[in-house]
Amino acid sequence: MNERNADWPELDYAAWRETCTALHLWTQVAGKYRLAHTPWVNHSWHATLYVTPRGLTTGTVPDGGRSVTLDFDFVDHAFVARADGGATSRFELGEMSVARFFDRAKAAIEAVGGTPTLHGAPSEVPDATPFAEDTAARPYDRDAVERYHRALTHVERVLSHFRTSYLGKVSPVHLFWGALDLAVTRFSGRRAPLHPGGIPNLPDAVTQEAYSHEVSSAGFWPGGGGVEEAMFYSYAYPTPEGFAAARVEPEAARYHDQLGEFVLPYEAVRSAPDPSATLMRFLRSTYAAAAELGGWDRDALECALGSPRVPRGVRAERRIPAEG
């Protein structure tokens, strides 16, 4: 890792809040298309988006007899629909209402032979306005979107490296468009108590399936939802006794009582001499707190961070301390 802090862009959420809100709702349109056409996978992993060198993608979506991919290209600032056989349809991202984006996205899907069937209202948003009725003009700050994308690529690399030090069940590194958070989740292997649900505009059955097993989850979101700045987070479900008082790293990390999770400002990572190493300390120490206090079988579940071209030596693997 060892990226210079200058490589990590500034993210002033207040300055691009309206653009971020528009982008959040646009990603929900693409994500809901994937959700509507893809067979269910545990913990809603079938509905997420993924970071690419150019932006975000749904990955391949099965649509009848076709395969369709929807991409947000933050280099050329375009929404692109592609299908097998070479069909492509695109339009420029810019100032527009959510309703206008919704119409254009559906037309692009249809133009490549797909069926633009999807749920027509946002999820995990209080007082959600259906996409087709959200006609207010939304700004589009290209520079801010590009900075956000650069931040995502850095964060995705660190989360992906962190993911390699676990032998148990672990999620892909993916973006949940409900809250616009890039996340990775580790599982203890044990069932969890039934989650109470209660997330706005999200069926409780979806939440309860997502949290059917014990987890330690960490990720990044650009701001909003009670924390009005770009922020890293880490939580456990169920929350083990003593978790809020656990000592974690770096010093800028703190437990947020209202959110029920540890948080670390993006700026604290960006301004550190080694941002990637600083973020890794947060990921490893908060996970270690969740696993230790939750009584996870750490010796069986953990291993050293992965390296290119080095196969796992099962007999040689052992748990690595959080600070290692």
Q: Please give the distance of CA 92 from its chain centroid, rounded to a whole number.
A: 24
Distance (Å, whole) CA 221 – CA 65? 35
The pLDDT assigned to 5 comes to: 62
63-117 confidence digits (pLDDT tens): 999 999 999 999 999 999 999 999 999 999 999 999 999 999 999 999 999 999 9
Contacts of 97 (CB under 8 A, 6+ apart): 134, 135, 136, 137, 138
Report residue 251 as tokens.
């010093």
The pLDDT assigned to 73 comes to: 98
Distance (Å, whole) CA 37 – CA 35? 6
Residue 142 φ then ψ, to 5°: -60, -45
The pLDDT assigned to 226 comes to: 78
How many Cβ atoms are within 10 Å of 238's Cβ, its own excluded? 13
285-317 confidence digits (pLDDT tens): 999 999 999 999 999 999 999 999 998 765 444
Extents of the domains making up the chain: 9-133, 143-316
- Distances, alpha carbon 232 to alpha carbons 38, 122, 271, in Å: 29, 23, 14
33-68 confidence digits (pLDDT tens): 999 999 999 999 999 999 999 999 999 999 999 999
The pLDDT assigned to 225 comes to: 79
Check pLDDT > 60 for residue 119.
yes
Reported confidence tier of residue 324, pLDDT bands at 50, 70, 90: very low
To the nearest 10°, the Cα dihedral for 129, 134, 138, 144?
40
Check pLDDT > 70 for residue 7.
yes
Check pLDDT > 70 for residue 264.
yes
Check pLDDT > 60 for residue 207.
yes
Distance (Å, whole) CA 127 – CA 28? 15
The pLDDT assigned to 316 comes to: 42
Report residue 109 as tokens.
């899907």
Percent of the chain with pLDDT over 70: 94
Separation of first and last alpha carbons in the chain? 15
> In degrees, to the nearest 5, what angle opens at C-alpha 31 toward C-alphas 213 and 156?
70
